[in-house]
Amino acid sequence: MDSNSFVEFDAFVEHSCTDFGMGNQKITGDGVVTGHGTINDRLVYVFSQDFTTFGGSLSKTHAQKICKIMDQAMLVGAPVIGLNDSGGARMYVFHYLMFRQEGVDSLGGYADIFQKNVLASGVVPQISLIMGPCAGGAVYSPALTDFTFMVRDTSYLFVTGPDVVKAVTKEDVTQEELGGAGPHTTKSGVAHAAFDNDIEAIYKLREFIDFLPLSNKSPVPIKPTQDLANREDDMLNILVPADSNKAYDIKEVIRKVFI
């Protein structure tokens, strides 16, 4: 966010679970920071999951905080940015058996977030920046958003991890092979770009916001350019092959048109 622009929502919210000793394990904020601020003087709403708090896992109140800013963003017409770093639904592990600490509430929270993703689609831009290993329910929402960015070697998106894959299929697979930035930006198409580290990712995201309208009712940002409107480039005559079955570099076409 721009300096001194961030306003936090629900900073003192705690989870309401009392099972599995969770009544004695409460942390204010419940693993996610939410609020609004500006990026280059333009309003945005943001949530950032904290992996150091219950693994960034989703509880009922965690989900409610995220849904709240998504509702606000749709109401006023502003982009939603999610900094995702979550292990999925909040669960308790005992002797390799997994118990959902908040049961249906946690899964219901994901359903609420997914519904907000669908309702916000085409209304306000939704951007996901994957800042760590995300698994289970935590991977579905980023895939529903408009743009998904990852960090090489530190961020991952997979429905279930390598250990479960090995237990079920007997296949050895690394986190990178299963859900790293490489596979998702070159094969699956889930992610649109990858960056070398967290700092670069955040700076590039700030730049990217400047190219987007705030909502479906806002104009597209206009920037001055030195590119003449009547400029011609003969390379465009041969870059796209006449045979539609032949491959070509679409990025080179874009560069010739816009740069």
Give the three-state DSSP class for 243: coil
Q: What average pLDDT is seen over the chain?
A: 87
Q: Which residue ranges form the domains of the chain, and what is each CATH number?
A: 7-209 (3.90.226.10)
Do the Cβ atoms of 89 and 59 come closer than 8 Å? no
Residue 88: which region, alpha, beta or left (left: phi > 0; alpha: psi -120 to 50)? left
Q: Residue 224 above 90 pLDDT? A: no
pLDDT in tens, 44-69: 999 999 888 767 778 888 899 999 99
227 or 205, higher pLDDT: 205
pLDDT value, residue 15: 62
pTM: 0.82
- What is the token pair recorded at 98? 């997994």
How far apart are alpha carbons 228 and 88 in whole angstroms?
50
- Which pLDDT tens digit goes with each residue over 76-130? 999 999 999 987 776 644 333 344 445 677 778 889 999 999 999 999 999 999 9
Cα–Cα distance measured from residue 14 to residue 59, given in angstroms and rounded to the nearest whole number:
10
